[in-house]
Amino acid sequence: MPRVISINCAKPAASAASGPSPRRPECSAAPWAMPSPQQWRNANASTKMAGDHLALDSSVVVRHLRGHSPGISRTLAEADELYLPVTALGELLFGVERSGNDPRAREPLEKLLRDAVLISPDDQTAEHYAKLRAHLTAKGTPIPENDIWIAATARRHQLKLYHDDAHFELLEGLIDGLRA
């Protein structure tokens, strides 16, 4: 059975008297079901995967979900398997929260979650993270922490990281990346 994530639709106390916010619908959004860990197909136990298997950075997911890039959508449709690092999922869920839990933001993400395998960091991912961060620190070229974790998760699972962030190119040779 999928885990249900409750969405808090209560108005913040400061805005209770001012009526509904146009960016925060009044509890019209039902709780949504996130696939349970059993449904994630445990990718942590896997070894190198054959075919076109892509780990997705939130940058390409956002562009795909907004319909801003037919090229990204085509690449995702043609991939053999899509993997979503849980760190990227956190970034995407943050976007849904910021939208006031707008169903137009939530529903496309739910569909993506049904089509992708969620991959979580583990002790081996932490080793990859340490190597990537040490490399960036030595070069004096920091990138956002979440992106180091996303890259480390892709590297741990030997997946190609599909992204649209130039800073991932600072990891060229250390990760297998595909820029949108």
Q: Is the pLDDT of residue 113 over 80?
A: yes
* Per-residue pLDDT tens digits for 37-87: 444 444 443 433 445 899 999 999 999 999 989 999 999 999 999 999 999
Where along the chain do its domains lie?
44-179
The HSE-up count of residue 83 (CA atoms within 13 Å, CB side) is 27
Query: What dotted CATH number matches 44-179?
Result: 3.40.50.1010
Q: What is the pLDDT of residues 150-176, one digit of tens each?
A: 999 999 999 999 999 999 999 988 888
Percent of the chain whose pLDDT exceeds 70? 72
C-beta separation of 71 from 31 below 8 A: no
* Least reliable range by pLDDT among 19-28, 112-121, 126-135, 167-176: 19-28
Cβ 47 vs Cβ 153: under 8 Å: no
Task: Give the pTM.
Answer: 0.72
Give the Cα-Cα-Cα angle 90, 92, 43 (nearest 5 degrees).
60
